[in-house]
Structure 1
Amino acid sequence: MSMEQISLEVKLVDSLATPICMLDTIIESSWNGPPLYVDFNRLYLVDIHELGETAFAARTDSRGEASLKNDPRIRQYTKDLQLMKLATRTGSKKYVAGLAECIEKDSPVSPERKMKWKQQMERAVGLFYLCKNGRFETLKERPLKDDAMRWCVQKVILLPKLYVIYNSRLDIEGRRKVQIKTKDRILLLQYKYYYGQESNNDLILWDENTHVDINLAQSQC
């Protein structure tokens, strides 16, 4: 059965009990690929605005200490698809490609599915983007609007197949550099003044000897 034919069960993680259920699902599944790409008939949307630190600190009884924050396997298997795309791309490696470009050029799903995905994403633009008279704060409103939930689902629904494509193209050196630069991008996300809509976030220091220095960045603010 193709991804286009599967009806997803979508769960909004907005209470402590649900992330524990999510962790059990991850841990009990195969670890052959990225651990969050499991059980294609279910998708968890983690409500970080409501749960805060609890979302990362929740533990599952089946493995005692397992949590999104402290389980070493989860940190080890963090994959950055934009960097995987960058590593397999010829030419300039200064900027990473956006999700829409990755889907359009590399996703193995049908052209019809790509068009449907694009249309669904474009409908959400009016909800969230200021340039289209939208408000990104819509994602913080509770209860979460159906349109907002659908947008969140569409942001990730086609990523598993992209991972398979990019992973098959990576050589040993590419995997090593992706791992190094993934750690840099995670550090950037933890930066106090990080703003997710900043276009400069697409700028990548691909030279393996150049790394993000958060302490230096903070001292310059």
Structure 2
Amino acid sequence: MVFQILTLFPERYRYFLESGLPSRGLKKALLELRFRQLRHFADPRRPGRVDDLPYGGGPGMVLEVGPIHRALNSLPDTYPVVFFTPRGKRLNQQMVRSFASLPGLTLLSGYFEGVDERVAQNLVDYEVSLGDFVLGSGDSAAICFLESVSRLIPGFMGSDQSHVEESHEAEGTLEYPQYTRPPKYMDWEVPPILLSGDHGKIAKWRKEQSELKSRNM
């Protein structure tokens, strides 16, 4: 799957891409990432400047439409553009699954006081938010999105079944509790049913626990 990323800080993605599953995904050619540094597409009369004061006054600076438009036009492929913004639709697992079915996506991060509204009106296909809180930039949101979508690419996880019973794979449900060795630590014990070897009872217990956690979330 191809991710085309428009950003002011491509270095922020380095640790994510050089560690764990993303690193292996790149080596196995399951992921292809193409970065565009927005400052490279600034107006030649203002080298490196991609923001300006907001019309009508107010605090902060606004990311200009021109560098974003030029950066998009420089990309070799046209994929849906996902813009990370507080006003976007809140991301959920069903949306992640839908995005993961596509051959590629273009990710756009917001910065400063905001982004010129003409970007959302004319250049963006999806506006996405991680929740009702504010980040310093959209890069953190883009990295979370990238990880969430990537792990659903066939072959990306150690097993393609790894995500099947996870939280939110079925709408509104949380995964059952997990335990591992030792069976007793201090006076904290693993539920005996998980040690019973009775897979039917274990499956029933897990379903009940999942439903209980989901009701209480």
TM-score w.r.t. length of structure 1: 0.20
Larger strand proportion of the pair = 2
Structure ID, larger Rg: 2
